[in-house]
Copies of this chain bind each other. A is one copy, B any other.
Amino acid sequence: MKKVTEGLKAVAESVALCRPDVISAYPITPQTHIVEELAQIVADGKLKCEFINVESEFSAASTVLGASAAGARAYTATSSQGLLLMMEVLYNMAGMRLPVVITDANRAVSAPINIWSDWQDAITVRDAGLIMMYAEDNQDCCDMHYQAFKIAEDPEVQLPVMVNMDGFILTHAFDPIDFPSQADIDKYLPKFKPLDFLSANNPRSFGLMGGPDRYLETRYAMAETFKSITPVILKAADDFKKMFGRYSGGMIEEYRMEDAETVLVSMGSTISDLKEAVDTMREKGKKIGVLKIRILRPYPAAEIKQALSRCKRVICVEKAISLGGPGILAAELKSAIYSNANKPEVSNFIIGLGGRDVKQDHIFELVEKAEKGVCETEFIGLDMKLVEEMDK
């Protein structure tokens, strides 16, 4: 039964269905409606849950860390500056193997301050040890949340999961959303059974020092865990499909790639723009497809290597930048396909930073440019008059 719902409110309803024990968050645009809606759900007695308003994102992350360590299913949501402020806690949470679920409403990072969408915020935590999922649309985003708790809490995983949704583009869009029933979600996602937690009945110590004699092995264990997560992610989607009839899963998604010579690679809601453009270009006879990176961590290197083993040209379309560095998606992708025999050209473009509209023409333009020669970290959609003005 579908219900037209705003993206953030849909996420809030989905999270509520997962029956978190503790929610803690701090207001930041464009994430705010999630916690507002959850606050109202709790205030109306519809969800029995400790909803904790805290004084900063740093404390929001720390509060859910503490709650998770004490055995609770814990959730927080944030965006942009808030995520950066959480940074130290996020590394710590991952290192402590705490299965918190975090929604990030992807937004640009200051300076200059900008509340609109790009991926710069979440990209900054890609090394931290979080599982990172990127939603293409709001149904996908809701379904990711049910699965996120299941994956995070899997005994083989025990890691935080971050669900990413593009600010405004998804967060504030109204779409018909199919919500599962509470009974079904209760079956899909039983009560959290932590392997180990803070308890006076079993007094144990958490967060010990790891000296030079142990630290390397601890990090190795995490790296090994990441190698075994893909099957867990795939199974969560398969189980979801069995119960709810729709497949919302996969590490990557291939769109019209069967005979594609050129493949556009991207994440999140940008995929919809690319698919539309690909449909248009296909009509004109161009052999072009789209590869969606749905899960950024663990990075689906093998899947990407395979998917790009036949094409001639790859174009990464990125909404984040490593200033002074190579394209972020492009570098990881080139790393994955480095030894492919077909060795496609790889271009990458920076688009849509800080909420700049991504137009279909921009996509046509970047394909055209890449066809003329490899482009690296090239900006598309610039207002050149403004660039000149700023140069003065």
Which A residues contact B (CB, under 8 angstroms)? 81, 84-85, 87-88, 91-92, 94-96, 108-114, 116, 120, 123-124, 126-129, 131, 207-223, 226, 229, 296-299, 301, 320-328, 330-332, 334-336, 338-339, 345-346, 350, 352-357, 374, 377, 379, 381-383, 386-387, 390-391
Q: A335's contact among B111, B221, B335, by CB below 8 Å, is which?
A: B335
Decide: A129 and B94 in contact? CB cutoff 8 A.
Answer: no
Decide: B211 and A116 in contact? CB cutoff 8 A.
Answer: yes
Q: Which residue in chain B gives the minimum CB-CB distance to A98?
A: B111
Report the separation of the CA atoms of residues A352 and B391 in the bound assembly, to the nearest whole angstrom.
44
Decide: A379 and B297 in contact? CB cutoff 8 A.
Answer: no
Contacts A/B (CB < 8 Å), 14 sampled? A91-B110, A94-B323, A111-B207, A116-B212, A128-B323, A211-B355, A212-B356, A215-B356, A218-B354, A219-B323, A219-B350, A223-B377, A298-B324, A334-B335
Decide: A328 and B127 in contact? CB cutoff 8 A.
Answer: yes
Query: Given A112-B214, A217-B382, A326-B299, is A88 in contact with B91 using a C-beta cutoff of 8 Å?
Result: no
Give every chain B residue within 8 A of A215 (Cβ-Cβ): 108, 112, 114, 116, 353-356
Decide: B223 and A323 in contact? CB cutoff 8 A.
Answer: yes
Decide: A220 and B126 in contact? CB cutoff 8 A.
Answer: no
Report the separation of the CA atoms of residues A97 and B147 in the bound assembly, to the nearest whole angstrom.
42
Give every chain B residue within 8 A of A331 (Cβ-Cβ): 331-332, 334-335
Decide: B226 and A323 in contact? CB cutoff 8 A.
Answer: yes
Decide: B325 and A332 in contact? CB cutoff 8 A.
Answer: yes
Decide: A326 and B322 in contact? CB cutoff 8 A.
Answer: no
Report the separation of the CA atoms of residues A114 and B212 in the bound assembly, to the nearest whole angstrom.
8
Give every chain B residue within 8 A of A355 (Cβ-Cβ): 211-212, 215
A162: min CB distance to chain B, Å:
12
Decide: A226 and B108 in contact? CB cutoff 8 A.
Answer: no
Decide: B113 and A354 in contact? CB cutoff 8 A.
Answer: no
Report the separation of the CA atoms of residues A350 and B219 in the bound assembly, to the nearest whole angstrom.
10
Decide: B213 and A383 in contact? CB cutoff 8 A.
Answer: yes
